[in-house]
Structure 1
Amino acid sequence: MSNITVVTRGLAPFDLYPYNPSATAAWTFLVLFAIVGVVHIVYMFILRAWFAMPLILGCVGEAFGYYGRAQSHDNIRNGGMYLIQLMLLLAAPPFLAATIYMSLGRIIRSLEGERHAMIRVTWLTKIYVVVDIACFVCQMAGSAMQSSGDPAGTKLGINIVLGGLGFQIFAFVIFVLMACRFHYRLNREPTWISREPSIRWRRCMWVLYATSLLVLVRNFYRIVEFGAGSDSAVYKSEVYLYVLDGSLMWLLVLFLIIVHPGALFRAARRLKKLGGMSSEEDEEAISLTDRK
């Protein structure tokens, strides 16, 4: 009688995880991302913050990614669930990052601070939308190639993911530098609307810095995880995933609930409807002050 190994359709002939994924942790994070996602949906309609749609999609991706991990518990050879969690947990953060990118451009326009921006606001948004799409494609393509079972394809997939993560880190560093420059120049030469006590724009800027830092730390963790290989302690323990990825991305979404940029934009719209100095009048006032 020949020795034949039967592999059920959809199951890999080897363990896809170096551990048994925790169902409790996965279901917990699924619920956490579902809650903050629903809150952002409510805020989107209340504040007319349509720019937050990518953030909501990112929450959906994170939630379903952890669903894949929950389903992988006691079933670590299920290729379908493994692929779902791998692709979604890699691809969801670029959607979260997109809202951070778009928030800066809207803050600049709301405060009428275009003259303080490093590049034109319209170009800022377009460039970072392209960056985000590129990062998303890299994460999706790379993670799909890792599930091929071919060692060469797996290695190439890892390199593509690493390239996408590294590119996102570079883009975020440039983004933070542009935000800092705008923040510094607006402090030195405030516009009429940024001087209004009801326009609390500085805390929005600090939230952008905080959320950007969370994305950077998460990306560094993922680079270490993929770069160190399957024998590393980082890869063999899922604790790192929840501490340095899931928790950080959930905090990112939570910070944007506590200080929602849409509230600033709504306050700025209302103030402009009530009337105030125009941008030209503001510049003239600053010029007259400087002469004195």
Structure 2
Amino acid sequence: MDNPRLIGRGLAPFDLYPYNPSKTAGWVFVVIFGIGAAVHFVLMFPLRAWFFIPFILGCVGEAFGYYGRAWSHNNIRDGSPYLLQLMLILGSAPLLAATVYMTLGRFARSLQAEKYTIMSVRWVTKIYVLIDIASFGCQMAGSAMQASSDPTGIKLGQHIVIGGLIVQLIALGWFIFENTILHIRLTNGPTVITLKDPSIPWRSTLWMLRGVSVLIFIRSVYRLIEFTSGSDSALTKHEAFLYVFDASLLSLVAFLFVVIHPGRLFRKIRILTLHSLDEDGSMMLDERP
């Protein structure tokens, strides 16, 4: 996406958007992502889902990003809201993806399915999160560089954002593949945990993880095409594409994680494990510190 010179503060001598951003649409997604952040914050405590902190921060970032777009309505030369929405809408998706990545390792350990993962469970979360941090850093740094008055810096910033999106797509593609392999292997060889309690929702959790990964993948493909197709492309000139292929998809990710929260599966397995210890006489609940 080729941008003219941007101004970090104050008014630019040109229109920063090829349209007047919709105030209504911006506020709608401020509310949607705000509700998503609030609901996941509340769920985090009873489910002990501390690994959802990046996800909550991602929802907050998305909300403020769309606040920037609502602010840009009738202010299409104001650099402050433009940069706010550019950086936060781009940079929040990797925070959402980070929680998706962290869930898989916890899932495999909880179901005692470490042997079914392609990569070692000890490394799967670390590698994915490091890749995600690199993607986040590229997208945030690249977005910030587009505030430069130097055309060379702007162009470099675009290339950095594109690099971050490519890294994110590679990580998501491999994650979807690894998720699928784990699902197949668990189906063909159930673990002791899944046999002990068939009601454990491990299948729906894996389907949900694969589904949200595909949604984030589609969103990243859209942003990559947008940034590489230039300022004259339909994706750049029509705001509706942003709300269809970015805002709507990521809000659906937040909704799916509420409906099928992996924390519920982990809690069910913790309770099952404690009850099993009681039955075996190995450790009584009232003896636990």
Tell me if the contact between 1:198 and 1:267 (Cα under 8 Å) persists in the aligned partners.
Answer: no
Distance 2:263 2:18 in 1: 43
Which residue of 1 is the match for residue 13 of structure 2? Answer: 13
Dislocated runs of 4+, deviation >6 Å: none
1:85 positional shift: 0.4
Tell me if the contact between 2:54 and 2:98 (Cα under 8 Å) persists in the aligned partners.
Answer: yes
TM-score between the two structures when normalised by the length of structure 1: 0.90
Segment of structure 1 superposing worse, 175-184 or 229-238: 175-184
Which residue of 2 is the match for residue 153 of structure 1? Answer: 153
Distance 1:132 1:56 in 2: 16
CA deviations on 1:229-255 (whole Å, 9 max, x unpaired) are 101111011100000000000000100
Matches for 1:169-248 after TM superposition, within 5 Å: 169-195=169-195, 196-248=197-249
Query: What residue ranges of structure 2 are gaps of 5+ in the alignment?
Result: 1-6, 278-289
Distance 2:105 2:95 in 1: 16
Number of residue-to-residue matches in the alignment: 269
Distance 1:98 1:19 in 2: 33
Matches for 1:113-152 after TM superposition, within 5 Å: 113-152=113-152
RMSD of the TM alignment (CA)? 1.1
TM-score between the two structures when normalised by the length of structure 2: 0.91
1:177 positional shift: 1.2
1:157 positional shift: 0.9
1:198 positional shift: 2.5
Which residue of 2 is the match for residue 51 of structure 1? Answer: 51
Which residue of 2 is the match for residue 166 of structure 1? Answer: 166
Tell me if the contact between 2:91 and 2:136 (Cα under 8 Å) persists in the aligned partners.
Answer: yes
1:148 positional shift: 1.1
Distance 2:174 2:221 in 1: 16
Which residue of 2 is the match for residue 110 of structure 1? Answer: 110
Distance 1:220 1:119 in 2: 25
Distance 1:178 1:132 in 2: 16
**1:250 equivalenced with 2:251 (yes/no):** yes
Distance 1:191 1:132 in 2: 30
1:150 positional shift: 2.1
Distance 1:39 1:96 in 2: 15
Distance 1:261 1:149 in 2: 45
Q: What percent of counterpart residues are identical?
A: 56
Tell me if the contact between 1:98 and 1:132 (Cα under 8 Å) persists in the aligned partners.
Answer: yes
Which residue of 2 is the match for residue 261 of structure 1? Answer: 262
1:28 partner SS: helix
1:122 positional shift: 1.7
Which residue of 2 is the match for residue 270 of structure 1? Answer: 271
